[in-house]
Amino acid sequence: MAQDGSVARVTCTAPVNIAVIKYWGKRNADLILPINSSLSVTLHQDQLKSTTTVGASRHFKEDRIWINGKEENIGNPRLQTCLREVRRLARKRRNSGDENSNTLTLNSKVHICSVNNFPTAAGLASSAAGYACLVYALAKLYGLEGELSEIARQGSGSACRSMYGGFVQWIMGVKEDGSDSIAQQIEPETHWPELRLLVLVVNAEQKVVSSTAGMQTTVKTSPLLKYRAEIVPERMMEMSEAIKQRDFEKFAQLTMKDSNQFHATCLDTFPPIFYLNEISKCIINLVHRYNSHFDETLVAYTFDAGPNAVIFTLEQQVDTFVEVVKHYFPPEENGEQFLKGLPANSVPLSEPLKSSIPMDPIKGGIRYIINTQAGPGPQLIEDINHHLIGEDGLAKR
């Protein structure tokens, strides 16, 4: 923690996670307790991350927050819950004589500044990364260690999974107070080094129906959601085993089936919710045609609450599949910036492969691709030059 003059500052980063067994629906909206467990892959922060600086000073008059360069209302109930719970835990640790507890900041107001290096509220789990980063940074500021996913969950449900790297399960829990609804890492990011994720950004605009509003309506109106909750426990075990065995075919098929069922529950909601658009459907068709051509499941899709696809594949398939995406969704203008993140080599596509995917190219259908892999959980940034809050306690321009 850097302390310049009277301002103590901490900067951290946290990752996005993509669920392969989806969370959709709460049994307790206030505590954000899910109706089923879920499982996700944490994406590498070299490509997708939130960065948050938290500053504390006795001179601050009130708590304040800036998100992506704009000051926002600090009164957001979920944000207030995270602040309150971290402070409560810090006071509890201090009162119990915890030597790591930082008493300097406990009675101070905080200034928070957060930025994402990816589109916010576009179905790319921005709230998960943002709340995980906030809770982790506050914990570092107050000198807290240990289990923090329960607090992150109360900011955004899937944020609890972004508190860990690699492959993470969120256990739904059974207790009324939510104390057993926490995230656990099942395998580290180093477990499956060949696994790759391609984020196909279809539309970076804010989605029409928020996840929170969508879940509430689905819980009230979808009979299919109740059926889904019954079969998820078995899927969780199957997915966990597929990951442990690095069985890509099993992992891929479970991932696609669960994504399809999640969006089926959205369609079963009344009025129906449409997170997928026509480009999303074309991507689904392309993936199945691609796998059919090779008579093997080589790529898999999953869609969260938005039109953007996340494609899972193995490293040796990346070059060919990226080329397929470029062929069927040629970039309108940003050819050089179409592929971001990890590099891919340009390879020729065979005529039999192209003829097995009878689709007309859709120019500009995909804005860009992010090529990434599984990555670690939240990180503390030691370099003071990366602070987003200046020595005056205000967001840097």
**Tens digits of residue pLDDT in 310-356:** 999 999 999 999 999 999 999 987 567 899 999 999 999 999 999 99
Q: What is the CATH number of domain 2-189+381-386?
A: 3.30.230.10
Mean pLDDT of 39-43: 98
Report residue 286 as tokens. Answer: 């392309």
What is the separation of C-alpha 144 from the centre of its chain, rounded to a whole number of angstroms? Answer: 23
pLDDT of residue 1: 54
pLDDT band at 207 (very low <50, low <70, confident <90, very high): confident
pLDDT value at 199 more than 80: yes
- Provide the pLDDT for residue 337: 86
Task: Delimit the CATH 3.30.230.10 region(s) of the chain.
Answer: 2-189+381-386
- pLDDT at res. 121: 47
CATH number for the domain formed by residue range(s) 195-372: 3.30.70.890
Angle at 387 between CA 382 and CA 390, to 5 degrees: 135
Dihedral pair phi/psi, residue 149, rounded to 5°: -65, -25
pLDDT at 208 (0 to 100): 77
196 has pLDDT over 70: yes
Most confident of 89-103, 111-125, 160-174: 160-174
Distance CA 365, CA 368 (A): 9
| Cβ proximity of 164 and 42 under 8 Å | yes
pLDDT at residue 143 greater than cutoff 70: yes
The rounded distance, in Å, linking the Cα atoms of 7 and 111 is: 10
Residue 315 CA to residue 73 CA, distance in Å, equals 43
Domain with CATH 3.30.70.890 in the chain: 195-372
**206 vs 395: which has the higher pLDDT:** 395
Report the distance separating Cα 220 and Cα 99, nearest Å: 48
